[in-house]
Structure 1
């Protein structure tokens, strides 16, 4: 199970880690944490040294009720970081987290290898054609509404059945546009209640029916810290627990703030099954 990242094959048969690099002032955990270019580069260097296979750069906070960010603002935040990281780490596999086609296009032309879209193309009709044109891997997430409205859309008759139908339709649309390398993300915390998040995690293996790599993005999310009545900065242990559950249920990629701990989860989980 491999994806082609600008001529480099990334084998997801053995699960990999995607390190989060937010260049936003308002992300729920690390917003505004990196106050200088040097601090950003040190964080990338640290994540790569700890074993991150992909660095995921985001310039639009998608937490519930996040402030709207214009396309111009997103590009301004993103391009400086993307170009800088690509220059200093030419061999790194870089992903850009955006739901806007124009941002995706400019990002790919400036060094992005993967597009990570929380809306699976549903918030910008040009997204799938752009990704198909450039032949880059595409991560599509399950969400209803927008980041500002998504928590109004949590009513499902059968959330897993509806999620599988959603991905089947979006994958078919992506294939029509020539997108060959697709990863699916169930979207923990997006258009879902606490109970729905845990139901999906417990049944993550059911997404195997789609025969595509699955990304699990649980890092320090509210389903952890609200359940434990703690804050995001205290949620690393809970993140490691749920990352392990994700791996046991078939996840191929962990998107995290804390790379070292996620790599350890993968090593220990693999040791458990190999023995």
Structure 2
């Protein structure tokens, strides 16, 4: 048995009683966009059957969580109504749940009504790109009522920081405090630094450089860098699918900094990088256990 990269097991629990991954190694979240306009794969997996096949492939490739989203979050995206978003994602969640009853499913949404419908339809986790703050305290109340884990991503309407790092930390603390105040258990709360959201290239690189500062907030961290434009800017790669090598570099760095889960488009391709980064993080302990 390999040594645990992360010695402390995760405390999150599915509202449906399913076992969620304990996180002794870095987890992989596979992206399943059922949208026509996502920046990397928009339109490829619309419809329950196409989405189901994609989910199956990601699970076979090593995904620990399938993240299902019905509204693009790329810059300049067209907002989607709550009803339309539910119509997009609910059949997919139900199909994935039916085909893979033990799979962990997250819903990528910032709308409390969508989150409630998704969790009642079989999702286990809320992944909120607005840190639970887009609709006041509605999302916090939803997470508390549903008794489900929630991932709080750092975001703000514009990149108008007074002092970048203190502002990012303060924003995340405010999101966490809102959840705790509504009754969400501390062990159900994750954070995400918001790479690519309300940040320029230099600020995104700064987030990666000092990711351990967000780890120090005391909640497990999701890192979501896959194919994003900062990678394209650094490596001069205009096409998102050509940014996989750069993505791999960010994941390895993130694992070393303490990220507990990474969110990616190509699960099978990124998995070896995550596993190798885990082995390096464990160091001699990993080697000793492997030899025993």
Q: 1:138 corresponds to which residue?
A: 150
Partner deviation per Cα, 1:74-97 (whole Å, 9 max, x = no partner): 111111111111111111110000
1:169 Cα deviation from its structure 2 partner: 1.7
TM (normalized to structure 2)?
A: 0.88
Aligned residues of 2:34 and 2:88 also touching (Cα < 8 A): yes
The alignment's TM-score, normalised by the length of structure 1, stands at: 0.94
Aligned length in residues? 268
Shift, 1:193, TM fit: 0.3
- Structure 2 equivalent of residue 206 of structure 1: 213
Q: Which runs of 5+ in 2 are unaligned?
A: 1-8, 285-292
Name the SS for the 2:28 alignment partner. Answer: strand
**Partner residue in 2 for 1:239:** 247
Runs of at least 4 residues off by over 6 Å: none
Runs of 5+ consecutive residues of structure 1 not aligned to the other structure: 146-152
Q: Is the 8 A contact 2:215 2:259 kept in 1?
A: no
Match of 1:150 in 2: none
Residues 35-74 of structure 1 correspond to what in structure 2 (within 5 A)?
A: 35-74=46-85
> For residues 74-223 of structure 1, what are the structure 2 equivalents within 5 Å?
74-125=85-136, 126-145=138-157, 153-180=158-185, 181-223=188-230
- SS state at 1:12 partner: coil
In the TM superposition, residue 249 of structure 1 has moved relative to its aligned partner by 1.2
Deviates more, 1:228-237 or 1:105-114: 228-237
Does residue 261 of the first structure (1) align with residue 272 of the second (2)?
A: no
SS of match in other structure, 1:139: strand
RMSD: 1.3
